[in-house]
Amino acid sequence: MRNVIINADDFGLCRGVNYGILDSHRFGIVNSTTMLVNMPGTEHAVELARIHPELQVGIHLSLTCGRPVSGGVPSLVNEKGYFRYTSRIFEEKEINVNEVEMEWETQIDRFLSFGLPLSHIDSHHHVHSFRPLIPIVKRLSERYGVPVRNVFEEDVEGINLLTDQFSMDFYGEGVSVEGLKGILKSRRAGETLEIMCHPAYIDSFLKENSSYCEERLRELDVLMNVNLL
């Protein structure tokens, strides 16, 4: 396992994100990404991944962005057919875990239908760490034989974790060369570390659908500074 994984989230969200991630890989230090399989930029992301097989690609499971890829999950969607949950999903009192498992399994199967190797599992807004959904993630990890992003607040017995440590500090105010170097210096000796990032070029879709835009450009600038590592 690589000691430091710098993973770009949201691959497949739109072309601006896809090109930002690819440039951060080709000309910078990003060595991994995770793909949304239910968004307008998914097919474009698949094409880029096929051209650049050295970029590790996992799946960015979604319950809070876009539409489901399976049928028969009425409890998960709003009247327009989009996922009804937001980043506030952790405040939910109840959730239909059977529908979530069916949807996430379908998302993974769709990823595999692209013919790409699946490196690992994580999720949009870290929803896989929502307590009722942890058993689902564990089963999916075992079923598909891939590790899971380590964002759990407490130890989860028997789950295959991608790294020993995980950092989400390279985000917002934490986006700087000094900030990234600080995260790298914090890695405990002998332990593996994943750093989450969101590089992108701003296109019309991103501007209309995300409140995190200008910051993605700053991330892109930092990540393409090849003198960092």
Residues 166-194 have pLDDT tens digits of 999 999 999 999 999 999 998 888 899 99
Distance CA 206, CA 107 (A): 22
Distance CA 107, CA 129 (A): 17
Looking at residue 154, its pLDDT comes to 85
Residues 206-218 have pLDDT tens digits of 999 999 999 999 9
Q: What is the pTM of this model?
A: 0.95
Residue-wise DSSP of 165-191: EEE--SSGGG-SHHHHHHHHHTSPTT-
Q: For every residue of 32-69, which 3-state class applies, written as one string? A: EEEECCCCCCHHHHHHHHHHCCCCEEEEEECCCCCCCC
Q: Is the pLDDT of residue 226 over 80?
A: no
Tell me whether residue 88 is exposed, middle or buried, using C-beta atoms within 10 angstroms of its C-beta: 0 to 12, 13 to 18, 19 or more: exposed
Q: Is the pLDDT of residue 2 over 90?
A: no
**CA-angle at 196, arms to 193 and 198, nearest 5°:** 155
Residues 67-96 have pLDDT tens digits of 999 988 999 999 999 999 999 999 999 999
Residues recorded for the chain? 229
Distance CA 203, CA 82 (A): 22
Q: Give the residue-averaged pLDDT of 52-69.
A: 97
Q: What percent of the chain has pLDDT over 90?
A: 90
CB 98 within 8 A of CB 70: no
Q: Is the pLDDT of residue 156 over 90?
A: no
Looking at residue 88, its pLDDT comes to 93
3-state secondary structure of 194: strand
Q: Give the residue-averaged pLDDT of 36-51.
A: 98
- What are the residue boundaries of the structural domains of the chain, listed by start? 4-223
In this structure, the dihedral spanned by the alpha carbons of residues 45, 174, 153 and 31, taken in order and rounded to 10 degrees, is 30
Distance CA 92, CA 98 (A): 16
Q: For every residue of 80-127, which 3-state class applies, written as one string? A: CCCECCCHHHHHCCCCCHHHHHHHHHHHHHHHHHCCCCCCCEEEHHHH
Looking at residue 1, its pLDDT comes to 41
**CA-angle at 81, arms to 104 and 99, nearest 5°:** 30
Distance CA 7, CA 123 (A): 12
CATH 1.50.40.10 for domain 4-223: no
